[in-house]
Amino acid sequence: METTAIVWFVLIAVLWIGFIVLEGFDLGVGMRMLFATRDEHERRVMLNTIGPVWDGNEVWLITAGAALFAAYPAWYASLFSVLYVPLTVALVGLILRAVSIEWRGKVHTARWRSMWTFGIGMGSLTAAFCIGAMLALTSLGLPIDANGDRVGGPFVWLGAEAVVGGLAVVGFSLAHSATFLGLKADGPIRERASVFAARWSPVFLLPAAVWAVWVQIEHGGNVLSWAFVVLAVAGALFGWLQ
């Protein structure tokens, strides 16, 4: 039974990592549409880079939730009841982003496109922040009692841990999307994304580093867990220097 539980735990971790890595650049591209484009052509180019994959990448989130429900029903029940508010807001953000992407090209007016461009950006930002907040609380401690019931009001989750986690995923998504556009786009978009990645990636990845160190301190990390943190930081620095 213990071996099965460990296998499922690793599987769920892999699914969440897959979601953050693959959906991260999608969300980041959506957020960048709020500030990193100069005309309609550039916005279309950015959307086209994620067009074939953005909806498929969300399957990782669905599968992670289903695996959690199948393997750890008590964990699922406590997690989703305590974090009902950020979960609902995250789903609204994902729905807003999906609807905005699908409807943006239905009417060819500047006002219509601007409205749905804003929806793509805000939906991506909201989803990234809330998902990061939930993951941070899961790793740093949920506000629950011994029975798995929430302790406090509906916004008891909104503390320093949630803010750091939310900023970590938002920052990671922006840095990841800049690197992605530097590889997939061309012309001015590629140039500006490459400059953004080279200049700002360490700043936007800083909350993720704070989160990782916080987890180690909170749970008394051992040599192996600290080694993984150092390896992650070294990998991020290597990618930035390239």
Query: Structure pTM?
Result: 0.91
The secondary structure element, H or E, covering residue 171 is: helix 160-184
CA distance 37 to 43: 6
Which regions of the chain are under pLDDT 70? 1, 242
- pLDDT score recorded for residue 242: 65
CA distance 15 to 37: 32
Q: How many domains is the chain partitioned into structurally? A: 1
- pLDDT score recorded for residue 57: 85
- pLDDT score recorded for residue 141: 84
Gyration radius (Cα) of the chain, Å? 19
Cβ neighbours of residue 43 closer than 8 Å, sequence gap 6 or more: 33, 37, 113, 117
- pLDDT score recorded for residue 1: 53
In which domain, by residue range, is 112 found? 2-241
Residue with tokens 């199948």: 70
Cβ neighbours of residue 165 closer than 8 Å, sequence gap 6 or more: 132, 133, 134, 135, 136, 137, 139, 140, 207, 211
Distance of CA 60 to the CA centre of its chain: 12
